[in-house]
Amino acid sequence: MPKAPVTDFVGAGWAFPLGVSPTGGIALVRGEQELEQAMHLILGTYPGERPMRPDFGCRLRDYIFRDTGDQTLAEINNEVRNALLRWEPRVDADSVGIKPATHDPSLLYIDIQYVVKATNDRRNLVFPFYVIPEEGGDY
């Protein structure tokens, strides 16, 4: 039996941010771009922001005022993995790595290595996450 293309499995969704297509309709994204935008939406949405889906999202904002020590990084890793496991069934998150930016102590790079289930295609997504440093910052 022929293998279905990834766009058949992933489908299409509204582009985010919302836009207009060249033909005047709502702009859509497909394939890997759809998956990346879906993961960005999951990680960027705090539970309770969507009234009809109050559990949807990820509690990353709980870590904005925390230190960037090993314990906090492990908790962020766990939060990201659990959110993607629950809300994005089209991918398997193989690993989640978190590294502070060398040039900016308030920036953490969340590097998600994932596999698209339909094609076994290995990909990665880097999600920037900003924290507010405890000392020495301008805040």
In a domain, 28, yes or no: yes
In a domain, 135, yes or no: no
Contact (Cβ atoms closer than 8 angstroms) between residue 47 and residue 35:
no
In a domain, 22, yes or no: yes
Report the pLDDT value the prediction gives residue 59, as an integer from 0 to 100.
Answer: 97
Q: How many structural domains comprise the chain? A: 1
Residue 82, domain extent: 6-130
In a domain, 136, yes or no: no
Report the pLDDT value the prediction gives residue 5, as an integer from 0 to 100.
Answer: 52
Report the pLDDT value the prediction gives residue 24, as an integer from 0 to 100.
Answer: 83
pLDDT tens series, the chain, 139 aa: 445 454 455 566 666 666 777 888 877 777 788 888 899 999 999 999 999 999 999 999 999 999 888 999 999 999 999 999 999 999 999 999 999 999 988 899 999 999 999 889 999 999 999 998 766 545 4
Q: Rounded CA gap, 117 and 65, in Å?
A: 35
In a domain, 89, yes or no: yes
CA-based nearest residue to 6, from 92, 95, 120:
120
Q: pTM for the full model?
A: 0.79
Q: In CATH, what number is assigned to the domain containing residue 28?
A: 3.10.450.40
Report the pLDDT value the prediction gives residue 22, as an integer from 0 to 100.
Answer: 82
CA-based nearest residue to 31, from 4, 15, 10, 3:
10
Q: Rounded CA gap, 106 and 133, in Å?
A: 6
In a domain, 31, yes or no: yes
